[in-house]
Amino acid sequence: MAKRKVSSFQRLQSGKLNPRDYKELQRRLQAEDPGLMVVHGNAAGIDVGAQSHFAAVPPGRSEQPIREFGSWTAALHEMAAWLICCKIDTVAVQATGVYWLGLCDVLEKAGLKIWVVNAHGTKNLPGRKTDVQECEWLRKLHTYGLLRDSYRPPESIREIRDLWRLRERWVQEIGRALQQMQKSLTAMNLQLTNTVSDIGGVTGLAIIRAIVGGERDSRKLAKLRDPRVRASEDEIAHSLEGTWREAQLFELGQVVEHYDFLAKKIVELDKLLQQKMKTMPTREPVVVEQGTQAEAEQAVWKRKRKKPSKNAPKFGLEKELERVLGVDLTLIDGVHVLIAQTVYAEVGPDLSAFPSEAHFAAWLGLAPMRSVSGGKLIRHERKKMTNRLSLALRMGAETLENSKTYLGARFRNIKGRRGPAKAVKAMARYLACLIYRMMTKGQTWIDRGEAAYEAQRSVRELQFLTRKARALGMNLVPAKV
């Protein structure tokens, strides 16, 4: 007779561990002391799972030093009470999907300090990996201070972050809807994109809505042209002479409805985001160095206002960000209001958790990874890392290619020497350093212009050639004009 499968709830009611796991547990608990200094004496480790969590406490704190708890809220409160009873102060948890979020909320409210650690720092577990071994391994590493806590912004900032990430997903979905509209139009040989650069603009959406409404006369459709469109009515009319297919028209109507639904949700989300931003405390402006105060005010007066992004909220987000951050990050070329909002949503206004701009860039995954052995560089490593702020800074760096500014000249110089991919990463790191300086030291970014960078580059090249000539026993002589 086949053995009946037991649910996680029924299995946890028995409170028994697997015999094989229990035997392995006894072997590991009786292992000799590695001789390391104990950093966290009252430490626990939790292996997070979808249906249950395994928690380990130091030997002698409980009759059963490793227990399994369910993932439901009542079981999490039971776990918190058990950890407090075992005199635990700090708990190490791996960032496994989203399963650790609810667990950390319950444990933090119970007064426990949570260390959310990266799985890359705990993966060298010897032997076959089991849940019991994993939680005990986490406890031991945390006890001897071999784990690093991940950076997490305050709870209020995390609410803003969740809303902003949701908004980013809706904006991406709107982009996909516009692509689907373009596909349907092209399938009917309606070459609207050849005359209107953005079908999501006033003219494009007006024509598409008229087509969905039943209009087929290309001349009447062309009269919906906005006066700012460069193409004439005749050009638009010729581009709208296509083959009307019922299936494609039905698909176009469905996509337009989906587009309107997403646009409505973004408006509702912006209203909630505006309310949350107004409740955020005002950060005192960072004191600017006296020598640059006058130049900073002059730079703000002279700089051209950046054109607001089409996808930016419509409630004056730039002023709110300047209030809550204490600085205006949009002064930096390549940093628009959406990037500034991503900075606030991902890390908050306080960057004191990062000792230096180098640590901040490394956390973003923008610092070079080098393998050094015996003082010799072996290779450059590539570490895959998904960071929304890093991605936003990369996109901002790409906009500097045609910029007639100091940063634009710097980007083009790096691109010519190292290639476009490395130039984007290098400039993204430089933007991150500028943001760190503005938010921590009060240094205001002042664009010195493209000519200033070219002059500095000429001086550096001349110094390099002078050193090279002296090494060869020669001297540089200026050419006579």
Q: What is the CATH number of the domain that holds 51?
A: 3.30.420
pTM for the structure as a whole: 0.81
Contacts of residues 149-158 at CB distance under 8 Å and 24 or more positions apart, as own/partner, are 149/115, 149/116, 149/117, 150/95, 150/115, 150/116, 150/117, 150/118, 151/347, 151/353, 151/354, 151/363, 152/116, 153/346, 153/347, 153/348, 154/348, 156/279, 156/280, 157/344, 157/345, 157/347, 157/348
Question: Final residue of a domain: which of 222, 253, 279?
Answer: 279
197, 239: one domain: yes
Residue 94, domain extent: 18-143
- One domain, residues 191 and 246: yes
- Whether 103 and 211 map to the same domain: the answer is no
Residue 138 and residue 160 share a domain = no
More confident residue, 123 or 185: 185
Is there a contact between 357 and 347 (Cβ–Cβ < 8 Å)?
no
- Per residue in 299-322, pLDDT (tens digit) is 544 454 556 677 788 888 888 998
Is residue 464 included in any domain, yes or no?
Answer: no
Highest mean pLDDT: which of 148-157, 268-277, 446-455?
Answer: 268-277
Structurally, the chain folds into a number of domains equal to 3
> Does residue 122 share a domain with residue 197?
no
Find the mean pLDDT for residues 170-195. 92
Question: What digits encode the pLDDT tens for the residues 21-78?
Answer: 545 544 554 454 666 788 888 999 998 988 889 999 988 888 888 898 988 999 999 9
Q: Both 265 and 324 in a single domain?
A: no
Which long-range contacts does 146-149 make (Cβ < 8 Å, 24+ apart)? 146/121, 147/92, 147/115, 147/117, 147/121, 147/122, 148/117, 148/118, 148/121, 149/115, 149/116, 149/117
Q: Which of 115, 143, 171 is the last residue of a domain?
A: 143
Q: Are residues 95 and 172 in the same domain?
A: no
pLDDT tens digits, residue range 202-247? 999 999 999 999 999 999 999 999 888 888 889 999 999 888 999 9
Three-state SS across 274-331?
Answer: HHHHHHCCCCCCCCCCHHHHHHHHHHHHHCCCCCCCCCCCCCCHHHHHHHHHCCCHHH
Based on the fold, state whether residues 84 and 195 are members of the same structural domain. no
Report, as an integer, the average pLDDT of 264-290.
84
CATH of the domain at 220: 1.10.287
Residue 435, pLDDT > 90, answer yes
Task: Tell me how far apart the alpha carbons of residues 111 and 116 are, in angstroms, rounded to a whole number.
Answer: 15
Number of alpha carbons in the 13 Å side-chain half-sphere of residue 458: 6
Question: pLDDT at position 377, please?
Answer: 74
Position 157 pLDDT exceeds 60: yes
The pLDDT tens digits of the residues spanning 103-134 come to 999 999 999 999 998 877 666 655 556 667 78
Residue found by looking up tokens 């024509």 in the block: 207
- Say whether both 68 and 120 belong to one domain: yes
Question: Are the C-beta atoms of 39 and 143 separated by less than 8 Å?
Answer: yes
In a domain? residue 470: no
Residue 237 and residue 338 in one domain: no
352 and 275 both lie in a single domain: no
Question: How far apart are the C-alpha atoms of 244 and 266, rounded to whole Å?
Answer: 32
In a domain, 461, yes or no: no
Do 160 and 247 belong to one domain? yes
